[in-house]
Structure 1
Amino acid sequence: MRLLLIRHGQTPSNVRGLLDTGAPGAELTQLGEEQARALPTVLDGEPIDALLVSTLVRTQLTASPLAAARRLETDVHDGLREISAGELEMRGDRDAIMAYMTTVFAWASGDLERRMPGGPDGHETFGRFDAVIDEARASGVGTLAVVSHGAMIRSWAGARASNLSVPFVARNQLSNTGVVVLDGGPDGWEALTWMGQAVGGPELAAPLADGPTADAINPDRIPTDSRD
């Protein structure tokens, strides 16, 4: 199955740098709406068979132009929602952002017992995302597009793609409506492109007002052993 992991468009919380992970969440900014309208063109060469979104409104608004252009239904799944910030919800200070991002990247490195302050552990978080992807794969879908969230996509891809290291997903941003393309099946996943660039290419420039879950962080700040 070919898997397109698409981050939602820009929101006011992204602009303000807030950890906004609760439902229903923020809507899109004007720029976010423009980003969403551009997605059908960006993905013009992809033969999408199914389109899934999370329960947070920003993913549904982002997917709407793509669904209309491809005449697809959007299937809503709670398992695709953003990683809960727990006690860090709606904070934008550096300490909170680092606590959040180092936790999700620790999960990607295999430390699934680690718990978000006042929130879930890695088993629960990756388990709900895995369940949605596994169900779609079992249905025989050829190319699946998933509109989800920055931290969820970066950490899950870092954990599941055999050719993505935790330092890579920590250093490389995923801007609003950025796309990660993977290919795989029951035996595992391989990342093909990250925001349009072949995996293994140059690192990406910092995004503008894409929110804390897009930020690059120093992999040395992740307090667990990371895969090379």
Structure 2
Amino acid sequence: MSHTNVGLFATCLVDLIRPNVGFATIKLLEQVGCQVEVPLKQTCCGQPAYNNGDLQTSQKLAKQVIMLFEDYDYVVAPSGSCMGMLKQHYPELFTENDSDWKIKAERFAEKCYELTTFLTEVKPLTVKASFPHTITYHDSCSSQRELGIKQQPRQLLEQVSGLELREMAETEVCCGFGGTFSVKYPDISTRMVSNKAENVQNTEAEYLVTADMGCLMNIAGRLHRLESPVKAYHIAEILADMAEE
């Protein structure tokens, strides 16, 4: 039986900040029978340019990504933020006047999946991990509002041996990162992440878990500045048994 051929879109933040998330993602995809490749020429998805109105740069990056991943059965990313760009916004980048690329972008989007959605709806994962700790889970804006992700990560986490999920207040509220939002509006961003950190701490959970590196980096940074003992992990690290307890 032939393997499902998956191209891993690693994302900039995973590559530069937390490579372990990439390795954990590969391990999980291989557990469900996928043949995983990581195209070395992949670049940024173009979201920062897109969010700031630079459509020319966004289109250029989108074309590179689409061509690089066109031969894979699926494209999977451990990020709702980047996957929202690939799946929702790439088709919007091209008009009917550029119909060839619009069709390519639409076909590309159909095979793109965020990791937890892929592992629950396309290739269901039987989780083998153990993590005997209390956690709280943050729902990222892009995952929820662009991709409809809410129960998928929870379905996976409830299979983890020994894990107890304690839901925080306002789990669906933005953490304040928002890509360039945190740069443009630092005072508002700081207030938002401070509120999020307070909600995390009020659960008295040992760990914060989320599925987006931007949120993870932002909330973990605030918790560290507050000298909180709460540690942060990407969900892939928990599910792959690659979290250092």
Give the TM-score category using the shorter length.
0.3 to 0.5
Q: Which has the higher helix share?
A: 2
Which structure carries more relative contact order (alpha carbon 8 Å, separation 6+)? 1
TM-score, reference length from structure 2: 0.36
TM-score, reference length from structure 1: 0.38
